[in-house]
Structure 1
Amino acid sequence: MKHLCQLPGSLLLLIAAVLAGCASYAPKPLPRQSSTVANAAQLIGASASQQPWDLPTLEKLVLLNNPDLRTLRAQHQIAHAQMLQAGLLPDPAFSGSLGYLLSGPGDATAWAASLTEDVTALITLKPRRAAYEANFQAIDAQLLWQEWQIVAKAQLLMVDLVEGRRLYQAQLADTALLEQRRARIQRAIDQGLLDRATSGPELAVTADAEATTEDLAQHLLDLQQQLCALLGLRPDAALPLPSTLVLPAWNAGDVQQEAATVAQRRPDLIALQLGYRAQEANVRAQILAQFPGLSLGYATASDNSRVYNAGPAISFQLPLFDRNQHGIAAAVATRDQLWLEYGNRLAQAHDAIAALTAQYQLGSEQYQQLAVALSRDRGTQHNELAWREKDIDLHTYADLSHEAFGVRGRLLALEQAQMERQIALQTLLGSGMPDALPTAVTAP
């Protein structure tokens, strides 16, 4: 302690300031219970009116409550901390020493101190800062793309649930009619009026319809549990879904126009562009770092006889062997890889949009043809009326109704497929996405 007190007062103040700026530790225990919600009304952003959800409402609830997105946003904060670190000036380096007097004519403790700054780090600061800023913006874009994909998945689940429930209700009605016919056939068989072998096809149709109904019920339960998981709800939570869904009108011209500018709108493509921009800055930083490492500063000292001296201090590396050749080569190779990856991803995006557009157009034609065919049919109500007036028997009525159900089922399946394709197209095009990027980005 005696020797420490002999240090200059300015040095002691510097040490005290450094210690005062240090962060302190605070524990954060892990949660002891599940964070899932039991009721849809308890979700963040949920309305108290209990009105059926539409697609925009579902999008808002998923963005606010999805557990995976909350984790991704926490990772985003880590990236923000890394960017802050990259933007700071390099800390100066302090070195000091004490030489206690052991023998000789001296009468004081010798000491030496120096303060230096890494000049090379200052030279490369600007491109390194640009690289980290571009990387941080790329992480923003990647987070936005992941949010959009999770929202699209939730929308697809809602479409499948709503359309699946419509199909399930029709399947229940068809199965109930077939079961009624089976009961009559079974009574006739028991009375010896019908042969079981000749009634086998009708009984098999009923068994297949019952199996289809059970499979569809299981599938709907699975879809509901998946949607609950996306919302952070318990698997058995009730969802206020609508009875029908209506998507915006689809226009081929709008799709082509949006496809032409997809690189300036879709977050995954923008993230690649920003990553390429960051790598360009990294290449510049690596080239600047090939020059000798240089540190400048100031040094002062006092010997045992209290003779003081001070002056500039310099240190540098001799560029005989390294010259950062490996860093430059790796940075250039990474830039080339990103250039190829962006070109491939852009081509895949355009190809996927073109393929899905063709599928949607074909599905629209098939849907129109099937709808016209169904409208020409006299329909289930006419068949039911004929059955009740004894114009046709139950066997014929069940066959006609089952056939009509098959056409309606195909129509519902086509309608569901078209909705799924439309949502997928919106995702591929980045349609309706918010502009969450701080700067405009153009393709490299």
Structure 2
Amino acid sequence: MATVLIPILRRTAIGVSVLVLAGCANFSADGGYGEVSRLTQERVGQPVVLAKTTADGDQRTSDEVRVLLAQPLTADAAVKIALMNNPALRTSLAELGVSEAQFVQAGRMRNPGFSFGKMRGGDEVEIERSVSFDVIGLLTLPTRSGIEKRRFEQAKLMAAGQAVQLANATRKAYFTAVAAAQSAAFAEQVRGAAEASVELADRMTKVGNWSKLDQARERAFYQDTQTQLARARHEATATREQLVRLLGLWDAQQSLQLPDRLPDLPTDLRDGRDAEAQAMAQRLDVLIARRDVEATASALGLTRATRFINVLDAGYANKSTNGAPRENGYEISLELPIFDWGGARVAEAQGLYMQAVHRTADKAVRARSEVREAYSAYRTTYDIARHYRDDVVPLRKKISDEVLLRYNGMLASVFELLADAREQLSSVNTAIETQRDFWIADTALQAAINGAGANE
């Protein structure tokens, strides 16, 4: 009997080895970065560029960043720099390696066990040897590998989601920084007008042509403009530094050039009729939730399959005693479900599955609502910005022209001229803010459709 079992066990071991080697998962060539880059480019128009860990790779990245910073920065160029240079994004991408390692590990069998025992009783020596294999691990290997593969796909979606979030945050920071710099320049003009007004008021008061009350009012306005200018300059610095952080710039690279003004309003608006459908098909957080449901469902199936047989090891064993023929055989180790029938594990898996299902439904409801809200903000800010551009600012300019004509005809005082100039600058500054709000709303709409939500 023993002589018959030895060839059978040998053929079984060979067959197991071939099956395991054939089913072993291997590391991918790019670690999943290619898929992350593709998902990101489809949503923000820019790929994720993985910086090589070599000195040459870092130098090439620095050279590309330097070329982009050598000219006035655009929103697209800012996103490109962030996706290749942001340290936090590099940290997130490194987590892909952990997920892939878990996927590869799940596709490999547990190492076989070997035991050796030696017993001596007087002149008799007894030696026992055995080799065991994890049979349940072998049988469930395809299922476990499939679960971890879906986890790896989910990790790639999460990495792409973080890249898309970074791109959206960079675009918002870019438009905010440009608008703040533009507002600071206009605040400087307002302060200049107030300074000229207060100097004229002081001279006219000295000769008795202006009351001290009106002089105090002009000086109070001038002091207010000083405060507003200081705040505007700080806002320009703070928003610029926020952009610098997102771009991952360091030392000399911080000397980026921002344009003097925001981009013009687009002539064609986005169509909001298909925005909700696009969000359901493209939003990464919705796709991640769906992958979570699939992985949890597979894990639930695995739990049900192994609820009674949790540990099953089989292997070859032989025993030899001095002065006696060697004994060969096999042994099986099985955990008996006497106290734990696996019901708690199945109940836990079912609870996790229902959590994933309800979480996905919640993501879908939130996504559709966020798209509708974002599109409303997009259209509203566009209408307001266009109203200021086409109606308010031209009307203020027309009023200024009329006041200037009256001043030239000696029908208006210089203070009326200065006051009107201040009001015109104020309307222009509001127009800058409305234009900034539109571009931020445009970015938020893109995030609601493609990324992880308009409010994240």
TM-score by length of 1: 0.81
- For 1:40-439, what aligned pairs fall within 5 Å after superposition? 42=62, 44-47=64-67, 50-99=70-119, 101=120, 103-104=122-123, 106=124, 109-234=125-250, 237-243=254-260, 244-246=262-264, 251-253=269-271, 255-292=272-309, 293-370=311-388, 371-377=390-396, 378=398, 380=400, 392-430=412-450
1:225–1:235 contact (8 Å) kept in structure 2: no
Give the Cα–Cα distance (whole angstroms) in 1 for the partners of residues 348 and 329 of structure 2.
40
Secondary structure class of the residue paired with 2:131: strand
2:70–2:256 contact (8 Å) kept in structure 1: no
Larger displacement relative to structure 2 (380-389 or 400-409): 380-389
Give percent identity, aligned residues only: 19
- 1:274-327 per-residue CA deviation (whole Å, 9 max, x = no partner) reads 111111111011111113232111111212335311112111121222122222
Secondary structure class of the residue paired with 1:305: coil
Instruction: Return closer, same or farther for 1:121/1:49 CA change in 2, 3 Å cut-off.
Output: closer
Secondary structure class of the residue paired with 1:301: strand
Amino acid at match of 2:130: S
Give the Cα–Cα distance (whole angstroms) in 2 for the partners of residues 62 and 49 of structure 1.
12
Amino acid at match of 2:427: V
- How many angstroms does 1:102 deviate by? 5.6
Secondary structure class of the residue paired with 2:213: coil
Give the Cα–Cα distance (whole angstroms) in 1 for the partners of residues 236 and 64 of structure 2.
25
Higher RCO structure, 1 or 2 (CA under 8 Å, sep 6+): 1
1:283–1:331 contact (8 Å) kept in structure 2: yes
Give the Cα–Cα distance (whole angstroms) in 2 for the partners of residues 388 and 177 of structure 1.
18
2:202–2:215 contact (8 Å) kept in structure 1: no
What is the root-mean-square deviation of aligned Cα atoms in Å? 2.7
Instruction: Return closer, same or farther for 1:89/1:199 CA change in 2, 3 Å cut-off.
Output: same
Secondary structure class of the residue paired with 1:117: strand
Amino acid at match of 1:131: I
1:229–1:235 contact (8 Å) kept in structure 2: no
Instruction: Return closer, same or farther for 1:355/1:196 CA change in 2, 3 Å cut-off.
Output: same
- How many angstroms does 1:219 deviate by? 0.7
Give the Cα–Cα distance (whole angstroms) in 2 for the partners of residues 384 and 229 of structure 1.
46
- 1:30-55 per-residue CA deviation (whole Å, 9 max, x = no partner) reads xxxxxxxxxxx946544278222222
Give the Cα–Cα distance (whole angstroms) in 1 for the partners of residues 330 and 265 of structure 2.
73
- How many angstroms does 1:263 deviate by? 2.3
Amino acid at match of 1:70: R
Specify every segment of 5 or more residues in structure 2 that has no aligned partner in the other structure, as ranges.
Answer: 1-60, 452-456
Larger displacement relative to structure 2 (191-200 or 164-173): 191-200
- How many angstroms does 1:396 deviate by? 0.9
- How many angstroms does 1:167 deviate by? 2.1
1:80–1:136 contact (8 Å) kept in structure 2: yes
Query: Which structure dedicates a bigger proportion of its chain to helix?
Result: 2
- How many angstroms does 1:242 deviate by? 2.5
Give the Cα–Cα distance (whole angstroms) in 1 for the partners of residues 270 and 323 of structure 2.
91
TM-score by length of 2: 0.79
Larger displacement relative to structure 2 (197-206 or 72-81): 197-206
Give the Cα–Cα distance (whole angstroms) in 1 for the partners of residues 114 and 267 of structure 2.
68
2:158–2:288 contact (8 Å) kept in structure 1: yes
Give the Cα–Cα distance (whole angstroms) in 2 for the partners of residues 248 and 312 of structure 1.
78
Give the Cα–Cα distance (whole angstroms) in 1 for the partners of residues 69 and 336 of structure 2.
74
Secondary structure class of the residue paired with 1:233: coil
1:349–1:428 contact (8 Å) kept in structure 2: yes
